[in-house]
Amino acid sequence: MKERSLLITGGLGFLGSWTVEEAVRRGYKVIVVDALTYAANPENLSSLKVKFVVPSVRHLWGVLRVEDRRAFPVSDPPNYDGYGRVEDVEREVEEFLSSPLDALVILASVEDYELMKRLMPYVEGVIHLAAETHVDRSIEDAWDFVRAEILGFYSTVDAFRRVKGREGRFLLVSTDEVLGEVMEGALDETAPLMPRNPYAAAKSSQEHFAQSYINTYGLPITIVRPTNAYGPRQHPEKFVPKIIINALRGLPIPVYGDGRQRRVWIYAPDVARGIMDIYERGNFPDIYHIGSMDELENLALVRKILRMMGKGEDLITFVEDRPGHDRRYSLNWEKMRRLGWYPKVGLDEGLLRTIEYYAERYANRPSVRR
């Protein structure tokens, strides 16, 4: 086994890419497995020295299909080097580990069990983020969530069990949504799982499998539940980017129901730092909540962003509420404080950086009020 090498799944996505960067900053060489779904963006790793590879023609077809319907403006598409056969992945990985590169990105699904087993001997640990993540899509049709979350997690964690067993560390990134609606106070890590939408149910299934593997095989799996993350690189379909992009374009900003749903917001790089702090200093197995003090109603968040962008509230448009929409999530994250972690970027500064990011990509720079 090579020292300080990590497998990070879903590393071309929003939180995944911030986690890959944070790991590289801490001296890890990172192998990413990402299926390049509509939510992935190769540009997210543009600050790093990266090689992209596609395991086979089968995977390449997937990549081409996805490239066709990308939502992101990708300024500099990467070169995809095909290596043909899954057996050749070992050669790719060995070359990568002795190279000056920061990351090797394998464009494949984590459901590829053979691939996952072949990668395990080369890494000391796994951080699993690959998932379908948009609640609205899961309400429309949850098949992709069942595949990515349940089959994908099973393939990854079982490859880990078979190859690494009790050696190494496995960190599963779950979500606050598995605990369901919390009308008062904040739930700590001992609260029972109460998923209330199909996305949360799929994420809870991951946690059930993880707990069963800890109990049955004694595996070192730790679960992390972050609250709502925002920041640069998030897919435009998500709430914060949608507010900003629509405001930039003078389009209506849809607010579900009465807009009084409460969420706790945290800047994505702070989550990535939390994930890596847990990976390096946390207990295995265990559960950790990652939260912040920035709790506000959705409508208040929209108003705040509009104010910062110098836009009027006339863009706010109330639309029919999401079915089963949870009113409030809230995590007690005292345990992370004890680990020495706390969020460094407050909501005002984080939103400012986020607005600047989308303004650069989606419009001429707006005047941003601090």
Residues taking part in catalysis: 176-177, 199
Q: Please provide residue 341's backbone torsions phi and psi, each rounded to the nearest 5 degrees.
A: -105, 140
Q: Does 226 bind ligand NAD (CB under 6 A)?
A: yes
Residues 6+ apart with CB under 8 A from 184: none
Region from 34-42, 294-302, 325-333, 339-347 binding ligand NAD, contact rule CB under 6 A: 34-42
Task: Give yes or no for residue 39 binding ligand NAD (CB under 6 A).
Answer: yes
135 binds ligand NAD (CB under 6 A): no
Taking the complex as a whole, the smallest distance from the CB of residue 362 to ligand NAD amounts, in Å, to: 17
φ, ψ at 267 (rounded to 5°): -75, 130
Rama region for 195: left / alpha / beta (φ>0; ψ in -120 to 50; rest):
beta
Q: Which of 8, 23, 30, 34 binds ligand NAD (CB under 6 A)?
A: 34
Q: Token pair for residue 176?
A: 């606050």
Q: Which is nearer to ligand NAD, 34 or 270 (CB)?
A: 34
Rule CB under 6 A: say whether 35 interacts with ligand NAD: yes
Residue 203 in contact with ligand NAD, rule: CB under 6 A: yes
Query: What is the spatial distance between Cα 211 and Cα 219, in angstroms, rounded to a whole number?
Result: 9
Other Cβ atoms within 10 Å of 358 Cβ, number: 23
Work out whether 36 is an interface residue with ligand NAD (CB under 6 A): yes
232 forms beta bridges with none
Cα separation, 286 vs 220, whole angstroms:
8
Least distance (Å) between residue 320 CB and ligand NAD: 23
Q: H-helix or E-strand containing 169? A: strand 169-173
State which of positions 139-168 bind ligand NAD (CB under 6 A). Answer: 148, 152
* 345 sits near ligand NAD (criterion: CB under 6 A): no
Q: Which of 23, 33, 219, 336 binds ligand NAD (CB under 6 A)?
A: 33
Return the range that interacts with ligand NAD (CB under 6 A); candidates 7-15, 247-255, 301-309, 344-352: 7-15
| CB 8 to ligand NAD: min, Å | 10
Instruction: Pick the binder of ligand NAD from 28, 31, 37, 116 (CB under 6 A).
Output: 37
Give helix 268-281 / helix 14-25 axis angle, nearest 10°: 50
Residues in contact with 274: Cβ distance below 8 Å, sequence separation at least 6, in sequence order: 224, 226, 288, 290, 336, 341
Between 29 and 59, CB nearer to ligand NAD: 59
Interaction between residue 272 and ligand NAD (CB under 6 A): no
Q: Which is nearer to ligand NAD, 124 or 144 (CB)?
A: 144
Label residues 230-255 b or e (16+ Cβ within 10 Å = b). Answer: bbbbbbbebbbbbbbbbbbeeeebbb
Q: How many residues bind ligand NAD (CB under 6 A)?
A: 31
Is position 40 an interface residue for ligand NAD (rule: CB under 6 A)? yes
The beta strand positions in 98-155, using DSSP E, are 103-107, 125-128
Closer of 109 and 311 to ligand NAD (Cβ): 109
Could you say which residues in the range 298-337 bind ligand NAD, by CB under 6 A? none
List CB contacts of 360: < 8 A, sequence separation 6 or more.
none
Place of tokens 């009465």: 258
By the rule CB under 6 A, 182 interacts with ligand NAD: no
Quick check: 105 binds ligand NAD (CB under 6 A)?
no
Helix, strand, coil tally for the chain in percent (to 5): 45, 20, 40
Residue 3 Cβ, how far from ligand NAD at the closest point, in Å?
Answer: 25
Phi, psi of 87, rounded to the nearest 5 degrees: -65, -25
Under rule CB under 6 A, residue 129 binds ligand NAD: yes
The binding site for ligand NAD (CB under 6 A) comprises 9-10, 12-16, 33-37, 39-40, 109-111, 129-133, 148, 152, 173, 175, 203, 226, 228-229, 235
